[in-house]
Amino acid sequence: MSQDNSRKLFEEARRIIPGGVNSPVRACRSVGAEPLFIARGQGARIWDADGREYLDYVGSWGPLILGHAHPAVLAALGETMASGTSFGAPTALECDMARLLVDCVPSMDMVRLVNSGTEATMSAIRLARGVTGRSRIVKFDGCYHGHADSLLVAAGSGVATLGIPGSPGVPEEIAGLTLSLPYNDLEAVRAAFEKYDGQIATVIVEPVAGNMGVVPPREDFLPGLAELTRTHGALLIFDEVITGFRLGLGGAQARYGLDPDLTCLGKIIGGGLPVGAFGGKKAIMSRLAPEGDVYQAGTLSGNPLAMAAGRAAIETLRADPGLYDRLEQTSAALAEGLIERARKQGLEVSGNRVGSMSTLFFNPGPVTDYASALRSDTTRYGRFYRAMRERGVYLAPSQFEATMVSTAHGLGEVDQTLAVADQIFKYL
């Protein structure tokens, strides 16, 4: 089948939208393709503007853990929309959502609702700087925390290299306050705290990395970060925008039994609508205006539609005690099946999986950090992506993203996917 409509839409978009897309990875350049324009979704499947059907393993980059157009989410949106879309004033839905988040996420006493994951991480870092009175922050190579200036920093070499801007428009003075260190390397963090004693406000980390492909933490890494930040008077921020409610109701912190000072959320808590949140201990969160002196605001924060969709999604997750076990089973079958079939054809691959997020690396592995992830054969991944898409399987258009399984995927969809992959691995 042709992709004429997607191609025409892309040509039009490039005339009026930079690059033809509103977020760069959607352009599919790293996999040697042009984007598909999506017309609709239902369950585990999407249809493009030319009517072609695909099994979807992107899930809007993670929010759609219940699949597309889930009836509970659509019903909540319809009911809420009838009363209006935005008020710029408090609503009961905001209280409902805040209560749900505090109930589910172990480390949260209080939460502030915002509009995106970037807004959540940016605000959490500002709060950490305000609370500690310090300026420097630590992040990790390959961990993406949104496009705020402090976080859009390229990794340097050495133990505690000062950040350099990862994009024009990011001032060196701001980037220079960010230390970018190797993921899973506690010694590098320890050395940074020694070198910049009393200067580091916070360490921000994806507890399970999802933006260099899926990379799980080593057993001692997250507990070590908690100990180091506590010892040196810094705050520990878990960026759970991806992992929150995907790895369980309490996110990665509940899975690993940890207690960060601040947590950032997004994606799933909006049920597919734009949303973000950050929360933590009452003593820290009470420093936010208007109660405290650290300013943060947003016109559409706590938007009724996002709150209604998110509440419906979370309540659906909470209502089914076997849901996460089924997600685990489906995701394991997919991830392990892809590795097994690729290796049977002599391909050098490895894979990482935590819960319902996984990555097949065209890399003999192991992949434990950004440097090892970068050794992947991205050209081969591009061929794999294009061949899968042509045969009706929609994967993330980058080697360095996660495959997302939803509750709408079952073992039948996994078998279908593996059968398609089997055909392709023979010719890669």
Please give the span between the terminal C-alpha atoms of the chain, in angstroms, as a whole number: 23
Catalytic residue, candidates 261, 267, 370, 377: 267
Residue 350 parent element (H or E): strand 350-354
Q: 68: which DSSP letter?
A: B
Phi, psi for 130 (deg, rounded to 5): -65, -40
Catalytic residue, candidates 144, 256, 324, 394: 144
Q: 294: which DSSP letter?
A: B
Alpha-carbon span 118 to 144, nearest angstrom: 10
Alpha-carbon span 398 to 143, nearest angstrom: 15
In one-letter notation, the amino acid at residue 236 is L
Q: Peptide bond preceding 366: is omega within 30 degrees of 0, i.e. cis?
A: yes
Per the annotation, the verdict on 195 as an active-site residue is no
Name the 3-class secondary structure at 32. Answer: coil
Closest CA to 58 of 405, 419, 416, 326: 405
Task: Give the residue carrying structure tokens 């980390």.
Answer: 205
Per the annotation, the verdict on 267 as an active-site residue is yes
Largest separation between any pair of C-alpha atoms in the chain:
62
Per the annotation, the verdict on 239 as an active-site residue is yes
207 contacts 252 by C-beta, under 8 angstroms: yes
Alpha-carbon span 121 to 139, nearest angstrom: 12
- Written as six digits, the tokens of 278 are 């950050």
> Exposed/middle/buried for 71, CB within 10 Å: 0-12, 13-18, 19+?
exposed
Catalytic residue, candidates 56, 149, 239, 369: 239
Alpha-carbon span 148 to 130, nearest angstrom: 17
CB atoms within 10 A of CB 167: 11
Alpha-carbon span 355 to 229, nearest angstrom: 27
Phi, psi for 205 (deg, rounded to 5): -150, 145
Contacts of 133 (CB under 8 A, 6+ apart): 201
DSSP string, 112-127: EEESSHHHHHHHHHHH
Task: List active site positions.
Answer: 144, 239, 267
